[in-house]
Structure 1
Amino acid sequence: MSDPFFFGYGSLVNRQTHDYLRAATASVTGWRRAWRHTPLRDVSFLTVVPAPEDYVDGLIAAVPGADWAALDQRERAYDRHDATHQVSHDLEHALDVAIYAIPDGFHRKPEADNPVLLSYVDTVVQGFLTEFGPEGAAHFFETTEGWDAPVLDDRATPIYPRATKVSAEERAVVDEALGRLRVQIKRE
């Protein structure tokens, strides 16, 4: 039996944030990416919500030996769902694939007291730029709901625990997109 895979649609798209080496780009239908807040965390973060007509690009990666413990701990605010029949990929064989999502009824739209972290956005977009290029990063912004959420500029001292070092060019992509979306940036 082959290893199961997870589908990452946020920071898990950035290979610098995890050690799952067998990975490939993919997409999942029936879901839409959204910024949400849950009482389990102080800040808002990405989840997927059911959306029959939508799809999300991301990264699938193998979970060696089906050892989900570390990933389940990392994604502790989420439930793991079977997405096997919703995922499209270019690998040569069929895969069992799971996706993480905050359970219905346990999240709400972000507010001023639980902003999105800019270091988190930077990390996610860096992953999309690496895996999908500029068009993929633009698609990330276009297909994610909740950009009316406040974004806390924590770049100087990242709060996001898996923040990656991003280049000036990557920051410029993020800043331009957030400006175009008229996102409210809060300074620390």
Structure 2
Amino acid sequence: MADPYFFGYGSLVNLATHDFPDPRPAKLKGWRRSWRHTDLRPVAFLTAIPDPDCEIEGMIAHVPKNDWAALDEREWAYDRIPATQAVSHTLTHDVDIAVYAVPHGRHTEPTNHHPLVLSYIDVVVQGYLRAYGEAGADRFFATTDGWEAPILNDRAEPRYPRHQQLKPHETEFVDSRLRRLSVNVVHSP
């Protein structure tokens, strides 16, 4: 029987946000990331959307005790989708890999009432910086849609439950890339 693994493309790339076993870099072909909103959450979040011309980097990890329950709980707003054939990785044994994504039709564009939150962006980019370096973090920005959405600067009071403290150079990297994208950053009232 194949070992169950998941492919993470957002906060799951940041190993400080979880302790799932055997994490390692991987690539998912035929998908890209997008900042989206669903009625299931008050703020926008990342989801994977099919894109036959794209490949995204991320992290695979073993599903603890071969039981999807804890991961399904963490990723409760998403559906778990089989993705074994679309993932390239360094494992040499038989695995079944899934990716979490919100199905088309169950998400919408972020809005002023449902913005991106900077504490979430920080966590994701910190993960890419640590796993893939600056070039990999730049590829994260390039293979993610939705940067035209408003971004709430919540660093002083993070809304993202698994927020992390960034090192000064990590904060500067995030801020510089957001400036390049000319995003609309708003501050908490």
TM-score, normalised relative to structure 2: 0.97
User: Where do 5+ consecutive residues of structure 1 fail to align?
Assistant: none
Query: 1:51 is aligned with what amino acid?
Result: D
CA deviation vs aligned residue, 1:74-125 (integer Å, no higher than 9, x gap): 1111000000000001222232100000011000111111000100000000
The answer to whether residue 134 in structure 2 is matched with residue 134 in structure 1 is yes
Equivalent residue for 1:35? 35
Equivalent residue for 1:92? 92
What CA distance in whole angstroms lies between the structure 2 residues aligned with 1:142 and 1:65?
Answer: 35
Equivalent residue for 1:152? 152
Equivalent residue for 2:78? 78
Query: 1:108 is aligned with what amino acid?
Result: T
Work out whether residues 42 and 114 of structure 1, in 8 Å CA contact, stay in contact via their aligned partners in 2: yes
Query: 2:36 is aligned with what amino acid?
Result: R
Query: 1:100 is aligned with what amino acid?
Result: Y
What CA distance in whole angstroms lies between the structure 1 residues aligned with 2:140 and 2:64?
Answer: 28
What CA distance in whole angstroms lies between the structure 1 residues aligned with 2:30 and 2:124?
Answer: 21
SS in structure 1 at match of 2:108: coil
SS in structure 1 at match of 2:95: coil
Q: CA deviation at 1:2?
A: 4.5
Aligned identity (percent) is 53
TM-score, normalised relative to structure 1: 0.98
Work out whether residues 43 and 114 of structure 1, in 8 Å CA contact, stay in contact via their aligned partners in 2: yes
Work out whether residues 3 and 64 of structure 1, in 8 Å CA contact, stay in contact via their aligned partners in 2: no
Work out whether residues 21 and 63 of structure 2, in 8 Å CA contact, stay in contact via their aligned partners in 1: no
What CA distance in whole angstroms lies between the structure 1 residues aligned with 2:143 and 2:51?
Answer: 11
What CA distance in whole angstroms lies between the structure 2 residues aligned with 1:152 and 1:46?
Answer: 15
Equivalent residue for 1:178? 178
What CA distance in whole angstroms lies between the structure 2 residues aligned with 1:49 and 1:107?
Answer: 11
Runs of 4 or more consecutive aligned structure 1 residues displaced over 3 Å after TM superposition? none
RMSD: 0.9
What CA distance in whole angstroms lies between the structure 1 residues aligned with 2:46 and 2:72?
Answer: 16
Query: 1:28 is aligned with what amino acid?
Result: L
Count of paired positions: 188
Q: Which moved more, 1:146-155 or 1:85-94?
A: 85-94
Query: 1:180 is aligned with what amino acid?
Result: R
